[in-house]
Amino acid sequence: MTDETILSLLQATPGWAAQADRAGLDDTGVAQILDEARKLAEAVLDPLAGVADAEHCRIESGRVKTPAGYPETYRRFGADGWICADLDPDFGGMGLPLALHVAASLPFEGAAMPFMMALGSSRAGAHLLAELAPDLRDVWCPRLAAGDWAVTICISEPDAGSDVGRIRTKAVKDGGTWRLSGTKCWISFGDHDMTDRIGHLALARTGTPEEGTRGLSLFLVPNITDDGADNGIRVERIEEKLGLHGSPTCVMRFEDSLGTMIGAPGRGLAQLFTMIELMRLQVGGQGAGIILRCAALARAYAEDRKQGGSPKSPPVPIISHPDVQRQLLAIDAQAAVTTALMFEAAVAVEEGRTDAGMQAYAAFLLPLAKTFCGEGAQEATSATIQVLGGAGYTREWSAERLFRDARICTIYEGTTGMQGQDFLFRRLLKDQGAGLKALGDRMRGELGEGPGIDLLAQFEALSERLAKASASAQLAAADGYLRAGWAAVSACLAQRVAGLGGERAAAADYWLALAPARFGMAEAQVTYALAKG
C-alpha cells in the first residue's frame, strides 16, 4: 500500500479535514510528512530491526544494554520530533493531529515494532504528565519529546496482572514525599541505556488491600533523583520471549524509591486512562503497521519469485497464479480495513476531547482497534510466510520475525478477553449504547445504505438481545459480541474504502464478500452463550 493510498484513506475519514485545517496542514504538507516517515523507516529502522532481533537485550553490571544502534536512533527520533509529534508545542511537541501521528507511525511500527515500544510509552507518559502534573510537565515533557529522558508504565505484578486491584507495591508517606517498595513485572524498557533518565509511572497502594483499585495511586518514580542519586530501582531479570527480542521486558524491584504522586490519592487507575488510551491505540498501530509491511513484502516477493507455468517456457512470477493472487488480495484487504480503523479511531479520540458523543464513540472503537489490528497482524504474517513458502520460514526474510513479534499484540495492554468485557460491559451496558449510537449515526450519515449498513443493523439487533441476557450469559458471550462488532464496523469501513475506487476497491470488495460469514460466526458464538446462559 503506497503513501498515496494511506493518504487517501486518511482523507476519506470524516472529521480529518477539519482537524488538518485547525493544524494548518494541507495535502502537500501531510504527504511530505508521510514520505519522510517512510524514508526514515526504510533507511534506519529496517536494518536496526534485524540487528536487534539477533543481538537481543542483556543485563551488564546491573543495567540493561540495548542492541547496537538503539541509543543513537532513539535520540535521532527525539531530535527530529517524531517521539511526541502530537504533543502540544508548549511541552516540546509539534502539535500534529493524532491521526497524522498514527499515519506517520505505521511504517515505523512495520519496520521495527520492538524499538518503537520505547517511544510509545514515553509519548504516552508525556501526554499524561502534560494533562495531570503541572508541577512536573515543564521539566519532564520537553526532555521526553527530545529523547533525553524516557518513561515506562509500571502496572503489572507477579500476582496482579489483569486483576489490578490485587497490586501489592506499597507507597508510604515520608514527610513531604512518598517512598515505593515492591516488585513490578512485564515492564517494557523498564531499564535501558538510551537516555540519561527513566521515569516510571507506577501504580502503588496507598490504601488498604480491601479497597482494591480504589486504594491505588499513581506516582512518577525516576531511576535517579533530581540531584543525581540512585533511587533504589533494580532490574531483577529480562524475560526470554517468543519475539520482541529488541524490547527488554523487565522485572523491576523498587526499594524505598522516592516518587511524586500524580493527581489525587486513590485515583491512580483513573489517572492512568490517558496513557492507557494512547498505548492501546499504539498497539492497534503496531498491528496495522505490520499488516502494511506484510502486504508490501508478500507482493514484492510474488512479483520477483518465478515458479510454474509451461515446462516449455521459462518459469513465471508466482503472482500470475490465481491462488497467490487470492492470498495477496486477502492481505491487502486486511491492510485497508485496519488502516481505515486506525484513522477512524484516532480522529474520534481527538474529537472526543471536546465532544462527549465522540468520546463515547472513541471508547467504543478502541477495543476493536487494539484487538483486530493485532489479530489481523497475526493472520497477515502467517499469510505472508505462506506466500513466500519455504523462504518465509527462514531468517533470510523478515516475515518470520514479524510473525513472532506480532503475537504479543493481542496479549499486552489487555488481553482479547479483557477487551471483549470492556466492549460489552462498559461500552454497551454502562455507556447505555452511546458509542453504538454514534457509530450508527456516523455511518448512516456517510454511507446511506449498503452491505456495511446491513450488517450494522444486524449488530444493533444483536446488541438489544444481549443487553437483556443474564450476567453469566453476557460474560460467556463477550468475545462473540466483540467479533460481531468488528464484523459490522469493518464492513462499514470496507464500504467506505470501496468508494475510493482502484485497487483499494478490489481489496474492499473481497472483505465485504466475506463479511456476512464473519458476522454469522460471531453471532453464532453469542447465540450459543445465550442458550447456555
- As given in the structure block, the three cell numbers for residue 272 are 492512568
Pairing of strands 233-238, 216-222: unpaired
Number of other residues whose CB lies within 10 A of the CB of residue 39: 11
Rounded-to-integer distance, Cα 53 and Cα 57, Å: 9
Which one, of 28, 30, 40, lies nearest residue 78 by Cα? 40
Asked if 338 contacts 287 with a C-beta cutoff of 8 angstroms, the reply is yes
Rounded-to-integer distance, Cα 251 and Cα 234, Å: 9
Place of cell 505472508: 384
Catalytic center residues: 413
Place of cell 467479533: 483
Burial environment of residue 175 by CB neighbours within 10 A (0 to 12, 13 to 18, 19 or more):
exposed
**Which residues have a Cβ under 8 Å from the Cβ of 130 and sit 6 or more positions away?**
87, 88, 91, 137, 141
Rounded-to-integer distance, Cα 321 and Cα 15, Å: 41
Segments in 152-272 forming alpha helices (H): 268-271
Pairing of strands 170-174, 177-188: antiparallel
Place of cell 506466500: 387
Rounded-to-integer distance, Cα 61 and Cα 48, Å: 24
**Which residues have a Cβ under 8 Å from the Cβ of 55 and sit 6 or more positions away?**
67, 68, 245, 246
Q: Got the DSSP string for 214-247?
A: GGEEEEEEESB-TTS-B-SEEEEEE---SS-TTS
**Which residues have a Cβ under 8 Å from the Cβ of 494 and sit 6 or more positions away?**
333, 336, 337, 340, 452, 508, 509, 511, 512, 515
- As given in the structure block, the three cell numbers for residue 359 are 468520546
Q: What is the residue type of 225?
A: T
